[in-house]
Amino acid sequence: MIDYTEKIPNNVDLGRDRALQRALEHWQPAYMGWWYDMGPNESHNFDVYLRTAISVEPDGWAQFDYVKMPEYRWGIFLQPRDVDRQVNFGTHKGQPAWQEVPGEYRSTLRRVIVTQGDTEPASVEQQRMLGASCPSMYDLRNIFQVNVEEGRHLWAMVYLLHRYFGRDGREEAESLLARRSGDEDNPRILGAFNEPTPDWLAFYMFTFFTDRDGKFQLCALAESGFDPLSRTCRFMLTEEAHHMFVGETGITRIIKRTCEVMKENNVEDPDHVRALGVIDLQTIQRYLNFHYSVTLDLYGSDVSSNAANYFTNGLKGRFRETKLDDDHVLTDAEYPVYEVVEGRVVKKNVPALTALNERLRDDYIDEIKDGVQRWQNVIDKVGVNFKLTLPHKGFHRAIGNFAGHHISVDGEVLTEEAWKKHEYEWLPSPGDNKFVQSLMTGRVVEPGKFANWIAPPIRGINGRAIDFEYVRFN
């Protein structure tokens, strides 16, 4: 169980290490300062029906109650230790999993943990203004749940930095509160986390596409030979699932509403669809193209010596590493990557060790395809003639082999000029953003009411009714 009588709730026996406890108690007010500044705007006095972890066991996960977000019990929760756990891949395969940081990997591990940690507050910053335009109380509660849990994920990484990386770790923990999403001078580390999330369509796309990068990266880190990182990530993954649920169902409900309105009014032309106050499927497709491509960049370069080193050194594994049927060392294996040669996309086999970013990206794409198919099923079920598609992997990429090339959604290599001609057929135009935002000018917060552009969910949260008062504004 988690001890909530402590100032910092935890299941790591924090009280036994006074110096660490003091250091974290020193960081805590800085974190609260960041939350008051950069957390959900004007929300501090709301009572929100939130879940809080009460135990890390699968059956005792959560408790639901009204909480003011600044009073949320952020804390440190690791999955229980398996004393027999080993390093399961790379050159240290078969050794007992490390309980302390191996000296030679210290800076690499720190960098990975900082990169992971940096995304968490970044996403809260990106989403902080969305409460003012929520489509319902149910959705408002969900975004707040996502936000407090991203805050907890920051705590998870900060615990590792403080506990295992001494003074450097403490400095990194402070920097995590100092960088700001989209800031010109001190931006967040990874590209997608500096993009704005200006409306709810973008928010649901983000939680579907980008939070799922979170899932895959956390799965890879959960395989780490550094056991505390593995145990932290395993618990984080249980929280991540709800975020992807919010994204997937959010888009499902938007598509459903649009298709129903199209059917009822017998309209297909996107201008006519827009005139009925719902989001046309073409715009949804363009948002999809944007979020998918920006998220693909988060996996890093297709061929990466960093990725090879992470794996060889036992720091970051593959998706479901221990379930894979091979030698887990990969010295002789190959893996296909794509590159642009003389105006065409061509396949090339490279050492599998160097292609681990690409492999994780491919695992991710497989899961994305299934999700997009589920959205397609909604369109087909209502009987609207429209096909959602995933753009080519090389489309609109800024990292890796496709960076600097102009690839169409179908994978054709174009000149910059030709690509520009199609840009706003493929990506949201300023006019698209403006239209979407024009639907979201105020918040809908009467219990059980939903904005015109989105269908209600199938059920409420934790068995509550859809018209339950999920947020009390006081």
Footprint on this chain of ligand BYC (rule: CB under 6 A): 112, 115-116, 119-120, 123, 150, 190-191, 210-211, 213-214, 217, 297-301, 304, 306-307, 316, 357, 399
- Which CB, 128 or 274, lies closer to ligand BYC? 128
CB of 84 to ligand BYC, least distance (A): 26
CA-nearest of 161, 46, 58 to 111 is 161
CB of 294 to ligand BYC, least distance (A): 8
**Residue in the shown chain whose Cβ atom is closest to ligand BYC:** 300
Give 69-73 contacts, CB < 8 A, sequence gap 24+.
69/35, 69/39, 69/40, 69/43, 69/44, 69/144, 69/147, 69/148, 70/32, 70/35, 70/36, 70/39, 70/44, 72/148, 72/151, 73/4, 73/9
CB of 187 to ligand BYC, least distance (A): 9
What is residue 340's DSSP assignment? E
* Parallel/antiparallel/unpaired status of strands 471-472 and 47-53: antiparallel
CA-nearest of 183, 186, 184 to 174 is 186
- Which CB, 195 or 280, lies closer to ligand BYC? 195
Cα–Cα distance measured from residue 213 to residue 394, given in angstroms and rounded to the nearest whole number: 17
CB of 441 to ligand BYC, least distance (A): 26
- Which CB, 237 or 445, lies closer to ligand BYC? 237
* Parallel/antiparallel/unpaired status of strands 47-53 and 406-407: unpaired
Strands (E), 352-474: 406-407, 413-414, 471-472
The two structure tokens encoding residue 117: 């940690």
How far separated are the first and last CA of the chain, in Å rounded? 32
Q: Burial of 156 by CB count in 10 Å (0-12 exposed, 13-18 middle, 19+ buried)?
A: buried
CB of 214 to ligand BYC, least distance (A): 3
Strand partners for 52: 63
- Which CB, 10 or 123, lies closer to ligand BYC? 123
CB of 370 to ligand BYC, least distance (A): 19
Q: Calculate Rg over the CA atoms of the chain.
A: 23
CB of 240 to ligand BYC, least distance (A): 8
* Parallel/antiparallel/unpaired status of strands 47-53 and 62-68: antiparallel
Question: What one-letter code names the amino acid at 356?
Answer: L
Cα–Cα distance measured from residue 322 to residue 89, given in angstroms and rounded to the nearest whole number: 8
CB of 316 to ligand BYC, least distance (A): 6
CB of 204 to ligand BYC, least distance (A): 13
- Which CB, 53 or 190, lies closer to ligand BYC? 190
- Which CB, 212 or 257, lies closer to ligand BYC? 212
- Which CB, 121 or 135, lies closer to ligand BYC? 121
- Which CB, 131 or 247, lies closer to ligand BYC? 247
CB of 85 to ligand BYC, least distance (A): 21
Q: Are 218 and 237 in contact (CB under 8 A)?
A: yes
CB of 156 to ligand BYC, least distance (A): 11
Cα–Cα distance measured from residue 209 to residue 436, given in angstroms and rounded to the nearest whole number: 19
Return the exposure string of 227-248: e unless at least 16 CB atoms fall within 10 Å of the residue's CB, then b.
bbbbbbbbbbbbbbebbbebbb
Q: What are the backbone dihedrals phi and psi of residue 154, each rounded to the nearest 5 degrees, phi first? A: -65, -45
Question: What one-letter code names the amino acid at 91?
Answer: T
- Which CB, 190 or 278, lies closer to ligand BYC? 190
- Which CB, 201 or 278, lies closer to ligand BYC? 201
* Cα separations in angstroms, 229 against 9, 12, 97, 171, 369: 18, 13, 11, 19, 29
Cα–Cα distance measured from residue 293 to residue 395, given in angstroms and rounded to the nearest whole number: 7
CB of 210 to ligand BYC, least distance (A): 5
- Which CB, 284 or 307, lies closer to ligand BYC? 307
Cα–Cα distance measured from residue 303 to residue 157, given in angstroms and rounded to the nearest whole number: 27
The two structure tokens encoding residue 97: 């999993």
